[in-house]
């Protein structure tokens, strides 16, 4: 296993900077996820670690050794691609054996390793089939076995679950996680699915436009987002973001005036839908729309502060379209509108 370091690593395609100079350390045996919207540079980062792309700046180190000029096949990296790309005309066995072709491993040893990798992900009974004769989840596991057969020091997973249905994705999520724990292999998962990232990884790297916005635990990103981007990207339904201004301790948002704790000038007030408690409280709103989700209901309220989404747990919706409801807000975040950075400790002091 390896400790991975990126030092000012960058990748441009002509004028287009896919990845801005980036610093990052992934601990030996750690499981990290890169999370971000389409086109933010996730796969590019992963391909640079794999040795498929050469960085246009900076250094990549595996256990302190610079590997920029080390070929992909010599990096001892296992990779599962975004489309997991099994060879359709080869059996499962030959697919799994494939990465060992370029290695100095004798036939019997290679067969034993392929068998062990197949057992690990439970496809050992399917070795003579072709990929077309497997379900999506089975193909996914074969792709994993192929990545693991080299006993890699780094496992790279690029949206490995994107082609699976919801229930299979759930199963594979925990299977990959427990396999990673068992093997202790340093792992980087790329995904645009926040649940996948936060449930599987020890730490999440939130990326936007070729830049790391924040690195932290699920807890950090949710409760202490660095920026409006992270706040808006993490959490479902998404956080309410309301333009506001702060002047001499007064926060004006919509038609409401509140007491501000910190902040000055143009700001953005963040209110998580689950921080809006319906039923009683100092504010009033009208239910403009509601989405029943079975175990919870999302209300779209028209309020003096502005439009607010509220999330309420419970099997059935307590309020109906057009109802006037009182509500309280338990917690807020405050961001500087110009820099989009969060202002530590700042928010609106809510009346009881
Ligand atoms: N070979 C290439 N030539 C030119 N531009 C590229 C190339 N590969 C990627 N890019 C650009 O670099 C940026 C980052 O691409 P990348 O594939 O890393 O995104 P991503 O975060 O993996 O997105 P997705 O979630 O859609 O897979 C994009 O703007 C993309 O268009
Ligand atoms: Mg990608």
Where are the chain's structural domains? 4-229, 239-349
- Where does residue 18 rank: exposed (0-12), middle (13-18), buried (19+ CB within 10 A)? buried
Inform me whether the pLDDT recorded for 352 exceeds 80. no
**How do beta strands 186-191 and 31-35 pair?**
parallel
Q: Is 18 in the pocket of ligand 1 (CB under 6 A)?
A: yes
CA of 42 to the centre of ligand 1 (A): 8
The backbone region for 210, taken as left when phi is positive above 0, alpha when psi lies in -120 to 50, beta otherwise, is left
CATH assignment of 239-349, given 3.40.50.1100, 2.60.120.260, 2.40.50.140, 2.30.38.10? 2.40.50.140
Average pLDDT over residues 184-200: 94
Average pLDDT over residues 83-88: 82
* pLDDT at residue 85 in the model: 80
The residue whose CA is least distant from atom 20 of ligand 1 is 39
Average pLDDT over residues 274-297: 95
Inform me whether the pLDDT recorded for 351 exceeds 80. no
Inform me whether the pLDDT recorded for 143 exceeds 80. yes
- Where does residue 27 rank: exposed (0-12), middle (13-18), buried (19+ CB within 10 A)? middle
Architecture of domain 4-229: 3-Layer(aba) Sandwich (3.40)
How does pLDDT run across 14-35, given as a tens digit for each residue?
A: 999 999 999 999 999 999 999 9
* pLDDT at residue 315 in the model: 77
* pLDDT at residue 1 in the model: 74
CA of 74 to the centre of ligand 2 (A): 23
How does pLDDT run across 52-66, given as a tens digit for each residue?
A: 999 999 999 999 999
Instruction: Report the candidate in 6, 191, 242 with the shortest Cα–Cα distance to residue 80.
Output: 191
Average pLDDT over the chain reads: 93
Which atom in ligand 1 lies closest to the alpha carbon of residue 190? 22
How does pLDDT run across 226-282, given as a tens digit for each residue?
A: 999 999 999 999 999 999 999 999 999 999 999 999 999 999 999 999 999 999 999
Q: What distance in Å separates the CA atoms of residue 201 and residue 25, rounded to the nearest whole number?
A: 14
The residue whose CA is least distant from atom 6 of ligand 1 is 13
Q: Which ligand lies nearest the alpha carbon of 45?
A: 1
The residue whose CA is least distant from atom 2 of ligand 1 is 13
How does pLDDT run across 95-124, given as a tens digit for each residue?
A: 999 999 878 889 999 999 999 999 888 899
Which range is least confidently modeled, 151-160, 168-177, 252-261?
Answer: 168-177
The residue whose CA is least distant from atom 14 of ligand 1 is 41
Q: Is 39 in the pocket of ligand 1 (CB under 6 A)?
A: yes
CA of 47 to the centre of ligand 2 (A): 10
Q: Is 11 in the pocket of ligand 1 (CB under 6 A)?
A: no
Which atom in ligand 1 lies closest to the alpha carbon of residue 43? 22
Which atom in ligand 1 lies closest to the alpha carbon of residue 207? 21
Q: Is 87 in the pocket of ligand 1 (CB under 6 A)?
A: no
* pLDDT at residue 84 in the model: 65
For residues 170, 154, 39 and 268, what is the CA-based torsion angle, rounded to 10 degrees? Answer: 70
Q: Is 13 in the pocket of ligand 1 (CB under 6 A)?
A: yes
* pLDDT at residue 138 in the model: 87
Q: Is 38 in the pocket of ligand 1 (CB under 6 A)?
A: yes
Which atom in ligand 1 lies closest to the alpha carbon of residue 37? 25
The residue whose CA is least distant from atom 17 of ligand 1 is 43
Same fold, 4-229 and 239-349: no
Q: What distance in Å separates the CA atoms of residue 46 and residue 131, rounded to the nearest whole number?
A: 25
Q: Is 15 in the pocket of ligand 1 (CB under 6 A)?
A: no
Q: Is 44 in the pocket of ligand 1 (CB under 6 A)?
A: yes
Q: Which two three-digit tokens encode residue 75?
A: 């990096």
Average pLDDT over residues 203-232: 96
The residue whose CA is least distant from atom 7 of ligand 1 is 13
* pLDDT at residue 172 in the model: 84
Q: What distance in Å separates the CA atoms of residue 36 and residue 192, rounded to the nearest whole number?
A: 5
């Amino acid at each position: 296993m390896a400790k991975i370091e990126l030092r000012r690593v960058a990748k441009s395609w002509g004028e287009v900077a896919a990845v801005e100079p980036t610093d990052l350390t992934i601990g030996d045996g750690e499981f990290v996820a890169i999370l971000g919207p389409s086109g933010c540079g996730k796969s590019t980062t992963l391909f640079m670690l794999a040795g498929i792309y050469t960085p246009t700046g900076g250094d990549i180190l595996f256990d302190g050794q610079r590997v920029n000029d080390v070929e992909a096949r010599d990096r001892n990296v296992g990779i599962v691609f975004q489309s997991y790309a099994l060879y359709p005309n080869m059996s499962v066995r030959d697919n799994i054996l494939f990465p060992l072709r370029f290695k100095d491993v004798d036939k019997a040893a290679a067969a034993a390793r392929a068998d062990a990798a197949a057992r690990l992900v439970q496809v050992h009974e399917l070795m003579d089939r072709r990929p077309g004769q497997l379900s999506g989840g089975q193909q996914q596991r074969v792709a994993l076995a192929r990545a693991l057969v080299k006993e890699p020091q780094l496992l790279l997973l690029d949206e490995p679950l994107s082609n699976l249905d919801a229930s299979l994705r759930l199963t594979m999520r925990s299977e990959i996680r427990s396999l990673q724990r068992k093997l202790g292999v340093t792992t980087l998962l790329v995904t645009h699915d926040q649940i996948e990232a936060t449930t599987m990884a020890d730490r999440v790297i939130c990326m936007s436009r070729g830049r790391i916005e924040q690195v932290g635990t699920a807890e950090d990103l949710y409760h202490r987002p660095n920026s409006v981007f992270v706040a808006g990207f993490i959490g479902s339904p998404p956080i309410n973001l309301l333009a506001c201004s702060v002047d001499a301790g007064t926060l004006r948002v919509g038609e409401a005036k509140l007491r501000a704790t910190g902040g000055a000038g143009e700001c953005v007030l963040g209110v998580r839908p689950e921080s809006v408690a319906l039923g009683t409280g100092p504010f009033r709103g009208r239910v403009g729309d509601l989405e029943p989700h079975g175990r919870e209901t999302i209300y779209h309220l028209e309020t003096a502060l502005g439009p607010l989404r509220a999330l309420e747990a419970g099997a059935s919706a307590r309020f109906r379209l057009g109802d006037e409801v009182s509500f309280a807000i338990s917690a807020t975040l405050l961001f500087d509108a110009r820099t989009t950075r969060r202002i530590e400790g700042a928010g609106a002091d809510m009346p009881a």
